[in-house]
Amino acid sequence: MREPLSPKLLEDLNSIDTPTISNAIEKLNVRDLTTGFAGCRIRCMFPDLGIKVGYAITAQLDGTSPGPPAVGAGFREVADAVEISPKPVILVWQDVGPNPGGAAVFGEFAATLMKRLGAVAMVTNGAVRDIHEIRDLAFQLFAAGASPSHGNPRFVRVGVPVVVDGLPIEPGDLIHCDANGVLLVPPDIAHLLPDQVEKVRSVERAAFDLIRGPDFSIEAAFKRMG
């Protein structure tokens, strides 16, 4: 685990929408433009809850393999990992069962416990349930959708690299997410992002002012955006 970010930097990142953070990362040329974010198959369940930033606690689990009941197997290991992790935590769980999303991997009990331990959001390629109860906790969910049953869930591996909708995530990675989706923030450039965001916003403001103003032309608009 890398050195956690300062409280001030976390606060700054938590005040900036995820697409703007993505644009700022692009300008720093630290990764290919097609990497570092999840696709649309993982959607924000509570857009009104705003921005969440945190460190990934990862796990792989299976809720759709038949067999003897195994509900909750391995859950204590996840809880212990959240308790000792830098805060805030974002849970990132990969459903590796034979039918990913076929049963809920997260519900009210898990959300209540994980929030108490310092988690603020869940990201999964699987399904979730207890939607209204978790919304009342102000706990954010990013998932493929909802399912009424938890199936037969058991944790296969905890604290391992996972992939959710094309996004590889390592334990301890810094996650930034809002209504627009889930983004991985390279920790080595996180401290540069607030200043870079101001540059991005300055360029965008100038472009929007031109488009809306009396001097608009297509040529001028494209030139202003570079």
**Is-contact 146 76, C-beta < 8 A?**
no
Q: From 119, 122, 164, select the one nearest 141 (Cα to Cα).
A: 122
Predicted local distance difference test score (pLDDT) of residue 72? 80
> Which of 75-93 are b and which e, b meaning 16 or more Cβ less than 10 Å from the residue's Cβ?
beebbebbeebbebbbbbb
Low-confidence ranges of the chain (pLDDT < 50): none
Residue 102 lies in a domain: yes
- Cα–Cα distance, 213 to 190 (Å, whole number): 35
Residue 99 lies in a domain: yes
Q: Is 0.85 surpassed by the pTM of this model?
A: yes
Residue 104 lies in a domain: yes
Q: What is the 3-state secondary structure (H, E, C) of 119-133?
A: EEEEEECCEECCHHH
Predicted local distance difference test score (pLDDT) of residue 223? 87
Predicted local distance difference test score (pLDDT) of residue 152? 92
Residue 163 lies in a domain: yes
The count of structural domains within the chain is: 1
> Which of 156-191 are b and which e, b meaning 16 or more Cβ less than 10 Å from the residue's Cβ?
eebbeebebbebebebbbbbbbbbbbbbbbebeebe
The CATH number linked to 164 is 3.50.30.40
Predicted local distance difference test score (pLDDT) of residue 1? 62
**Is-contact 146 102, C-beta < 8 A?**
no
Residue 129 lies in a domain: yes
Residue 36 lies in a domain: yes
Predicted local distance difference test score (pLDDT) of residue 162? 98
- Cα–Cα distance, 148 to 186 (Å, whole number): 36
Q: From 55, 18, 52, 147, select the one nearest 95 (Cα to Cα).
A: 147
Residue 103 lies in a domain: yes
Per the structure, the complete domain to which residue 74 belongs is given by 7-188
Residue 199 lies in a domain: no
Identify the burial level of 42 via C-beta atoms within 10 angstroms of its C-beta, where 0-12 means exposed, 13-18 middle and 19 or more buried. buried
Which amino acid would we find at residue 47? P
Predicted local distance difference test score (pLDDT) of residue 2? 74
